[in-house]
Amino acid sequence: MTHPVHTPVVAADGGLVRFALADLLGGAPGLMTVELSDAAAAEPWLTRLVGSERALEAIAAGHVDVPAHPELATLALLLWARRWWPASPSLGVPSLDPALLDLEAAAATAAVEDLAEGLLDGFEASPAELFDAAAEGIAVTSVAEEVRGLCLRLSAWFDDRDDVVRAEAAAGLAAAVSPGQRAYALAAGAGPSMLGEGVVVEGRASVDWARVPPGVLDAAEDTVAWRIVAAPVGTRLEVEVEGAFADAALTAFATHDGAVIAEVPLHLGAGRFAGSADLDVTSVDIVVGVTAESIVGTTAEDRAEVVSLVRARPPAARTLAERAAAASAEEEF
């Protein structure tokens, strides 16, 4: 099964609309796949989207490949970036401002609603929800003119739907946003290594992107350092995770033969998370994040492929948040 990290998707009423990640990141979405789970629910928007002939084909087969609609391709990419963007200074992939991503996703969601009303029907965040999230975080940005343009478009869209409060809020944000560079709280960086006396065993591990919140940790491999040290009574497990961009509730789990034998609460420090816990074995595997069996994890190969595609991304295909990150990087030098 293809991992969701490789397949940008828009959840629709009665189905899914899938895209190939390489196509979207390359700036050339060719086809999109519409997969139906409830043909009756999907039929109204599907007919408006692909026409009656292709809609009947999709209903009969349960799926159909059609030329990608730019509005849906844009939304799928932005939703993917909100969850899977592999920010990593060491890999040359900048962090993206979540408020800018939310604002652009709000405008893209509104465009999809105009394209085929009822397609989303509550299965994705609404333009209102995304705008509310964005408005709390945007004040200063290196792409102020583009932000103003999006806000004015959203103001008109909300006004057409009699959402006077948000129409005024979007217009007010358009007037208030100012040019400049936003300060980001934390950045990945080298710190004190886990060296000391009494080390029984030590190792490194990688963070599975599927097990941690987006935008919190550096996406590079081998950022988890752990060691088991001799303590006055028994032994102690110490874990450090390099490359913290933001605070979050994180835990490292020590497993032995597939079973969790210790949990290490991780606390934010200078560009890293760290924590320790007592342990009575010396052979462990370390998992950072959550250990729920229902989670479909990413592999090192999955992560390497995504990073490669992102690093090769053409400038013309960049999102607003990417352009802002590039402009901020240029201001620093």
Whether 180 shows a pLDDT value over 80: the answer reads no
The whole-number average pLDDT for the span 73-93 is 96
- Give this prediction's pTM: 0.91
Of the candidates 79, 81, 85, which has an alpha carbon nearest to the alpha carbon of residue 12? Answer: 79
The Cβ of residue 324 has, within 10 Å, a number of other Cβ atoms equal to: 25
- For 255, the token pair is 């497993």
Confidence (pLDDT) at 74: 97
pLDDT in tens, 239-259: 999 999 999 999 999 998 888
Whether 146 shows a pLDDT value over 50: the answer reads yes
Confidence (pLDDT) at 332: 53
Q: How confident is the model at residue 333 (pLDDT cuts 50, 70, 90)?
A: very low
**Phi-psi category of 228—alpha, beta or left, where left has phi over 0 and alpha has psi -120 to 50?**
beta
Q: How confident is the model at residue 84 (pLDDT cuts 50, 70, 90)?
A: very high
Q: What burial letters (b/e) apply to 36-71, b meaning 16+ CB within 10 Å?
A: beeeebbbbbbbebbeeebbeebbeeeebebebbeb
Q: How far apart are CA 73 and CA 79, in angstroms?
A: 10
CB–CB of 8/77 below 8 Å?
Answer: yes
Strand partners, 230: 235
- List the beta strands (DSSP E) in 115-249: 140-141, 178-179, 199-205, 224-230, 235-242
Confidence (pLDDT) at 25: 96
Confidence (pLDDT) at 190: 42
- For 173, the token pair is 């944000």
CB–CB of 50/82 below 8 Å?
Answer: no
CA distances to 76, 145, 285 from 129, rounded to whole Å, are: 17, 23, 39
Whether 275 shows a pLDDT value over 50: the answer reads yes
Q: How far apart are CA 146 and CA 101, in angstroms?
A: 13
Helices 39-50/52-61 angle, 10° precision? 150
What mean pLDDT, rounded, does the chain reach? 90
The proportion of the chain whose per-residue pLDDT surpasses 90, expressed as a percent, equals 75
CA distances to 15, 60, 118, 120, 264 from 44, rounded to whole Å, are: 12, 15, 8, 12, 50
- For 329, the token pair is 């990087």
Cβ neighbours of residue 137 under 8 Å, at least 6 residues apart? 97, 98, 99, 102
Confidence (pLDDT) at 182: 59
Least confident of 38-42, 61-65, 95-99, 232-236: 232-236
Q: How confident is the model at residue 187 (pLDDT cuts 50, 70, 90)?
A: very low
The whole-number average pLDDT for the span 266-276 is 94
- For 26, the token pair is 């390359």
More confident residue, 193 or 266: 266
Whether 199 shows a pLDDT value over 90: the answer reads no
The whole-number average pLDDT for the span 276-303 is 90
The proportion of the chain whose per-residue pLDDT surpasses 70, expressed as a percent, equals 93
Q: How far apart are CA 4 and CA 19, in angstroms?
A: 11
Side-by-side strand order, sheet with 250-256? 199-205, 224-230, 235-242, 272-279, 259-268, 250-256, 285-288
CA 142 to chain CA centroid, nearest Å: 21
Q: How far apart are CA 249 and CA 147, in angstroms?
A: 31
The whole-number average pLDDT for the span 185-199 is 53
The whole-number average pLDDT for the span 90-110 is 94
Whether 189 shows a pLDDT value over 60: the answer reads no
CB–CB of 264/289 below 8 Å?
Answer: no
The whole-number average pLDDT for the span 201-219 is 95
Q: How far apart are CA 299 and CA 157, in angstroms?
A: 41
Sign of CA dihedral 135, 6, 28, 88: positive
Whether 26 shows a pLDDT value over 50: the answer reads yes
Whether 192 shows a pLDDT value over 70: the answer reads no
